[in-house]
Amino acid sequence: MWLIVHFLIIMALSVRVLLRPRRDPASRVAWILFIMALPYVGALVYLMLGEVRPARVATPIKQIESTQRLSLDSLREKLGISEHALPGFAIGESISGYSPVGGNTGYLLDDSNATINAIAADIDAATDHVHLLFYIWLPDNNGCKVVAAMVRAAQRGVSCRVIVDDLGSRSFIRSEHWSAMEQAGVQLARAQPIGRVMIRILKGRVDVRNHRKIIVIDNKITYCGSQNCADPEFAVKAKYAPWVDAVIRFQGPVVRQNQQLFLADWLACTHEDKRELAYQPMSPVAEGFVAQVIGTGPQNHYSATPELFSTLMFSARRELIITTPYYVPDDAMQAALCTSARRGIATTIVLPARNDSWFVGAASRSYYSELLEAGVTIYEYVGGLLHAKTLTVDGQTTLIGSANMDRRSFDLNFENNILFHDVQLTGDVRHRQLRYIAQSKPVTQAEVAAWGVRYKLRNNVMAILGPVL
């Protein structure tokens, strides 16, 4: 009887794994082997982590028709975008439905503290509304600086809405600062609420998170990048500090796209439909660059995020520079990065030397040998935890935002990025990337070859577990 039960558990879960949509073959094999090896533990773990079902899914809000909205042909003809850059915008539109729009301006903030100071100043200057979404909001110096600005804004009659991730910002939600904003009139919401853990587990993975960082002020200003609402010293993981982030402050039609993304999340969290805010008339803007918001999440088609990264890699003709804290690619993205180098493109990736996730750090290094053999230049940043998520192509096109190049961002997280085409602003981002490289150590093939067997074994085992975890 025990053997029959044992067999039935394995067969039932294996069939469920095989029938589950949106799962790559490597992930199916990994889960089935895990269940066969440990049927009862495997059954429990699969029910907890094996199926991606967000607590609430944002309802898409359609893009606003605008005179600034341009076809891909118009982008090339009217704004001088190279033909090689067009596929990135096309794949971005296929993912979240936002077309590239012209007439945008922006500048790269100096560092984390400068970003928070700029956000607080813009909140103080707000006259209609302030919308903030952070994965992590800490009750530290920078976190409290933004709290104070939000309280002041609410008290003078500005409509203030805040979304934080229920897990990432759990300490902040329990703090007096959360209550202070509520008492001042700030409307608050928690994304992907956990509630009772055991009940939440039965509904799907607890670690499906809203990892976005969105700031929209008066439908005129938006920020996009890797910055959480916290000090660079990042008290919850201080031994990896400082956290090194990159954020751009944008103005122009792309602001409205970030507004729509925020409002979709607000609708999912609160069931309050405020889409009329995205339809407010916008003031005429001066000529500027083309930009596009790309929002991703578990509701997107399978492999949406890897497709975006891979398309940008294949679009490079001279140079490709990437910074990311977490690199655990799928096969297609790893192949795209290797192919870029093999095509003769100067291909560089910068990762932190010390990673706050030992699992991801180990898995990342399992890919080093193949990358180096293909001709990819790898650097490890030693000045703290490099948290900036940037990709520049040929000194002309940039992708910046919250998405990492790992399985969590691909399958589990709600993310937001902005893709733009502008030589000057891309040059600023590229200059920042080169500054990171100057504070990094190069990784050589000889160094990787000298790694011990136990070290390589650990790295490769962590990479195998990537599709499972």
Measure the CA–CA gap between 20 and 448, rounded to whole angstroms: 37
| Tokens representing residue 113 in the block | 């503290």
H or E element, residue 73: helix 72-79
| Tokens representing residue 30 in the block | 């990994």
| Tokens representing residue 102 in the block | 């012209």
3-state secondary structure of 107: strand
394 included as an active-site residue: yes
| Tokens representing residue 459 in the block | 């790295």
Q: Considering the candidates 129, 220, 274, 389, report the single residue annotated as catalytic.
A: 389
3-state secondary structure of 58: coil
Inter-CA distances, 191 with 68, 206, 249, 265, 269, Å: 32, 12, 24, 8, 6
389 included as an active-site residue: yes
Q: Considering the candidates 387, 406, 411, 421, report the single residue annotated as catalytic.
A: 387
211 included as an active-site residue: yes
Residue 379: what are its φ and ψ, rounded to 5°?
-120, 150
Q: Considering the candidates 145, 177, 213, 220, report the single residue annotated as catalytic.
A: 213
Other C-beta atoms closer than 10 Å to the C-beta of 455 total 12
62 CB burial (10 A radius; 0-12, 13-18, 19+): exposed
333 CB burial (10 A radius; 0-12, 13-18, 19+): buried
Q: Considering the candidates 129, 145, 177, 211, report the single residue annotated as catalytic.
A: 211
The candidate with the shortest Cα–Cα distance to 316, out of 339, 334, 296, is 339
Other C-beta atoms closer than 10 Å to the C-beta of 320 total 25
Other C-beta atoms closer than 10 Å to the C-beta of 28 total 16
Active site residues: 211, 213, 218, 387, 389, 394
